[in-house]
Amino acid sequence: MALRYQPISLRHAGTPKLQHFALLAGMEAAVRGTLISTIPIAVYDAFGSAQNLSTVYFTAGVVTLFWGLLVPRLTQIWPRRFVYSGGCLLYLVAMALFMLGTPVTVPLAILTMSMSTVTCFVCFNAYVLDYVPRPDLGRTQSLQMVYAAAPWALGPLSGVWLRHYWAPLPFIVAGFFALALLVTFWFLRLGNGKQIARAKGPAVNPLAYLGRFFQQPRLIAGWLFAVIRSCGWWVYVVYVPIFCIESGLGDKLGGTILSISNATLLLSPFMASWARRRSVRVALRLALGYCALLFCLATATAGAPVVTVACLFLGSFGLVMLDVAGGLPFMMAVKPSERSEMAAVYSSFRDVSGIATPGMAWLVLWVAPLNFIFAASGLAFAGAFAIAGRLHPRLGALRPSRGGI
């Protein structure tokens, strides 16, 4: 009887708002942004070459690919809020391993951090698909980028400078942000999301829903865009700082240009508005063609390292545009009954790119200098440009029935 007279706010969590998801995205960006330019340098220092660095990332990518596909099964065994919290705690474990800084603990730290990222990402996207209406997916995507803009802009440069004063300091700061992410998540009380029962119950085999994915060409195309976009960021984040070091430009230039590039996330609402007025297809093809041109040009100008870095820096603006529009083809094609499963499939783009990029780089470095990695990425963008031409012309555009022009 006592429960009957409790205020409604104490018995039920309110429906999450778009700002709540953006806040979580911003908090996680603070964790990863602080380390994004620090980890490649730490791994390079521990193993001594770009090829060894690629091997470490490749191995971690293979393991986390299968881990990401198992996360939906974990949410069937334990409540989703506990799985998300476990992902936050894995961030803390990774920070402790990074602080030890030995050739044994550094690969384990990368693996643990990859597992934590994919765990949080799968659960986060499942929450978004549960609570955000389909017409608002583009808006929530751009709002998340606005909240994440400051951490992504300040984090890379801050991480490099903190490491300059004391090597473990960036990992301590990132651990503090991971703890803040966990506290924020529980404060928002997202619970376990909406539960939509299937007629025959959930699949026992966590890989069984891959068949549904491969039967839907729109999902495959959307996933490929995410993979290629992520590969571009991998090249920019991991191999540009190494290129700067090997070219004599120093170990701080990579973090500096990454911070400036990430600051353009503040422009994402304007980019999203522009994409809605044209269509997702136009926005994607423009960004993919732009990235293909500049990444290939970066290889051709490798004799002048400053020009190469400038080309890649300009190309990063196209990567930001892909962040705005690149995930929409997939998200708009997901059926409500497949939210958790397809969120896991979508999140695998991180792990696949984490396998494809260092694997490609490892092969390239056997036969060519480091700058040819940029050309390989440019060719991938060109292939995605061709695929994007087959999207529906009005995908994501405003429609009169929704108040558009």
What's the pLDDT score for residue 313?
92
Q: Where are the domains of the chain?
A: 16-191+212-397
> Which residue from 91, 84, 124 is spatially nearest to 110, judged by alpha carbons?
91
What's the pLDDT score for residue 65?
79
Residue 31, token pair as written in the block = 């964790």
Q: Give me the average pLDDT of each 10-residue run along the chain (405 residues).
A: 44 67 90 86 74 79 83 85 93 92 85 91 84 74 80 83 87 94 89 51 54 79 88 88 82 79 76 74 88 93 89 90 78 69 75 84 86 92 88 57 44
What's the pLDDT score for residue 40?
80
List, in sequence order, every beta strand (DSSP E) within 23-157: none
pTM tops 0.85, yes or no: no
Q: What are the b/e assignments for 339-375, b being 16+ CB within 10 Å?
A: bbbbbbbbbbbbbbbbbbbbbbbbebbeeeebbebbb
Give the span between the Cα atoms of 322 and 267, in whole angstroms: 13
Give the span between the Cα atoms of 277 and 366, in whole angstroms: 45
16-191+212-397 fold: Growth Hormone; Chain: A; (1.20.1250)
> Which residue from 386, 371, 387 is spatially nearest to 329, judged by alpha carbons?
387
What's the pLDDT score for residue 403?
46
> Which residue from 238, 228, 175, 206 is spatially nearest to 47, judged by alpha carbons?
238
Residue 268, token pair as written in the block = 């994402």
Neighbouring CB atoms inside 10 A of 34's CB total 29
In which residue are the tokens 């942000």 written? 177
CA distances from 60 to 63, 64, 118, 388 (A): 5, 6, 12, 30
Give the span between the Cα atoms of 380 and 366, in whole angstroms: 19
3-state helix, strand, coil in the chain (%, to 5): 80, 0, 20
In three-state secondary structure terms, 155 is: helix
